[in-house]
Amino acid sequence: MSTVAREWREIPGRYNLEGTKCENCGSIFFPARDFCPKCRRAGIGKISRYDVCRRGKVFSFSIVHDAPDFNNMLKPYVVAMVQTDDGVMVSAQLVDVDLDKVAIGMPVRAVLRKLSADGASGVIRYGYKFVPDE
Amino acid sequence: MRDVAIIGVGVTKFGELWNKSFRAIGIEAGMKAMEDANLSGNEVDGIFVGNMSAGRFINQQHIDALIADYSGMATNHVPATRVEAGDASGGVAFRQAVMAVASGMNDVVLVGGAEKMTDLDDTSINAIMDSTADAEWEAGMGVTFAGLHAMIAQRMIHDGTATREEIASFAVNSHFHGALNPNAQFRKAITLDTVLRSGPVATPLGMFDCAPISDGAASVVLCPLEDAKKYTDSYVKVSAVAQASDTLSLSQREDITTYGATVAAAQRAYQQAGITAQDIQVAEVHDNYTVAGIMALQDLGFYKRGEAGKAVLEGRCQVGAGPVAVNTSGGLKARGHPIGATGVAQIVEIAEQLRGSADKRQVENAKYGLAQSSGGMGSAVTVSIMEAI
């Protein structure tokens, strides 16, 4: 079970793929980081907001048959590592897709979907999933 | 820094131990190790316990105190420390204990590793395992721990560095040895076809690519090398204990078909021991999934990238069949994988091999043995090297 605060504070990343960029070295971070692991001290105060590109290609994928409780109704479902057009790697579900058609290199785009719900009266979590970009 | 010796080892049977509690298995392994080292108990001045998640598996935190109490060490007020590093909890606990003895801070240290997993249902257990990757941005998005490993495998197959059959063969190797280990969870050899036809978990990986859910505990006793003879004639030298870190999330890596932390820890370990990968005759590697075992053999320097799968498929990692025998205990797949116990159980197996007490799975004339323990998606890795005396 999750709390509202835990989900609410992640909304920029979960809904809008909002990450950060280090103005010192140009690295893009998703999920957002407030501290550049490459520049370390030299990057302090130079981290700005960055909107990750919502289009990309499947870098790798798997069809998940052994699902967590919150996804039990979806199985089998596809997960993918998506390399966005600006080079960010994002792990997410790939939906609205024929399981036989998924392939490495396939163009995809991010959409907003329901991720899970804590029972009938708990928190409903929303976030990005990817769909084929046709 | 003092040289350190392993003077006693103990391990429980691994498996679904429904009649035994966490504290029962933890103490059983510790007692065996103490007996093996010919200790009364009063010599011990430090305890390190590897345990990943008793808090979630059995709703018990403060495992350090529990073990100190039930092992009788609390009567002497021996300091006890619980170590957590995902799947590598046992490996990191061992390293902490070696450092304690090497530094002179402690003289006789008991290392334990234990996990009691089967008191929970499978879905809850999988959720706990998923949380060793990035709980917010991988597991929370529906990307399971098995799914992450599956995506590594998928990419290897795509890149042409391993075939599905080569990856699957790692389980055949583990089961071949598990059949020879009386303490293994699965004591049955299997064929490649069994792995390939097992029900899908996360494609391309099936049920037989995955280590099982297990209960179990393992323990070793350490002391300074120069004192070892006071206790026993059957001891081995710890030649290296190295550790390395990597990003928590797999998606943050430049290359997902190698674990940089294994490469780094191995380099540090070989340097500490003054040897190379070619000097190792027996190795225990972290095959929580078959694909992780294949990667480990490459990252540790036993085989070049693209070569490990071929070696395993051809049976060259079995006892007596190649330059290095791999997972003679049965590995995580067949011996079982009670998370916190695993890293310590690997050390037990290597010590048994170097003492010549590994019975039917004995590697002849083994001089150096290596254990690699990996946490999460290779986010924490220990590589330990032991040497026969």
Decide: A61 and A81 in contact? Cβ < 8 Å.
yes
Q: What is the reported pTM? A: 0.97
Q: Structural domains in chain A?
A: 53-132 (2.40.50)
Q: Which structure tokens are listed for B364? A: 């002849």
Among the partner-chain residues B136, B147, B253, the one whose CB lies closest to the CB of A64 is B147
Percent of chain A with pLDDT over 70: 99
- Is B254 an interface residue toward A (CB < 8 Å)? no
Per-residue pLDDT of chain B in tens (389 residues, 90 and over written 9):
999 999 999 999 999 999 999 999 999 999 999 999 999 999 999 999 999 999 999 999 999 999 999 999 999 999 999 999 999 999 999 999 999 999 999 999 999 999 999 999 999 999 999 999 999 999 999 999 999 999 999 999 999 999 999 999 999 999 999 999 999 999 999 999 999 999 999 999 999 999 999 999 999 999 999 999 999 999 999 999 999 999 999 999 999 999 999 999 999 999 999 999 999 999 999 999 999 999 999 999 999 999 999 999 999 999 999 999 999 999 999 999 999 999 999 999 999 999 999 999 999 999 999 999 999 999 999 999 999 99
- Is A69 an interface residue toward B (CB < 8 Å)? yes
- Is B204 an interface residue toward A (CB < 8 Å)? yes
Decide: B299 and B263 in contact? Cβ < 8 Å.
yes
* Pairwise CA distance, residues B64 & B48, whole Å: 8
What value of ipTM does the predicted structure carry? 0.97
Residue A2 has pLDDT above 80, yes or no: no
Decide: A122 and A2 in contact? Cβ < 8 Å.
yes
In the three-class reduction of DSSP (H, G, I as helix; E, B as strand; rest coil), residue A101 is classed as: helix
Rounded alpha-carbon distances, angstroms, from residue B311 to B162, B263, B341, B360:
11, 19, 28, 22
The reply to whether omega before A76 is within 30° of 0 (cis) is yes
* Pairwise CA distance, residues B257 & B152, whole Å: 6
Choose from B120, B122, B144, B209 for mutation: most chain A CBs within 10 A.
B144
- What does the DSSP 8-state code read for residue B241? E
Q: Which residues of B touch A69 (CB under 8 A)?
A: 123, 127
Report pLDDT digits (tens) over B269-282.
999 999 999 999 99
Q: Structural domains in chain B?
A: 4-121+214-236 (3.40.47.10), 133-212+238-388 (3.40.47.10)
Report pLDDT digits (tens) over B244-292.
999 999 999 999 999 999 999 999 999 999 999 999 999 999 999 999 9
The partner residues of B383 in beta bridges, in order of sequence, read B242, B372
* pLDDT at site A13: 97
Q: Which residues of B touch A61 (CB under 8 A)?
A: 151, 154
Minimal C-alpha gap between B307 and chain A (Å) = 21
Helices (H), chain B: 22-36, 54-57, 63-70, 89-102, 122-130, 145-159, 164-178, 192-196, 228-231, 260-273, 290-299, 308-313, 331-334, 339-355
- Is B147 an interface residue toward A (CB < 8 Å)? yes
Angle of CA points B126, A66, B13, to nearest 5°: 50
Decide: A71 and A79 in contact? Cβ < 8 Å.
no
What one-letter code names the amino acid at B153? A
Decide: B223 and B12 in contact? Cβ < 8 Å.
no
* Pairwise CA distance, residues B338 & B15, whole Å: 8
Q: Which structure tokens are listed for A31? A: 């999920």
DSSP states of B287-302 as a string?
-SBHHHHHHHHHHTTS
DSSP states of B100-123 as a string?
HHHTTS-SSEEEEEEEE-TTS-HH
Are residues A79 and B202, on separate chains, in Cβ contact within 8 Å?
yes
DSSP states of B161-199 as a string?
S--HHHHHHHHHHHHHHHTT-TT-S------HHHHHTSP
If you search the block for the tokens 């998928």, which residue do you land on?
B154
Among the partner-chain residues B141, B203, B251, the one whose CB lies closest to the CB of A63 is B203
* pLDDT at site A1: 62
In the three-class reduction of DSSP (H, G, I as helix; E, B as strand; rest coil), residue B143 is classed as: coil
CB-count exposure of residue A134 (10 Å: 0-12, 13-18, 19+): exposed
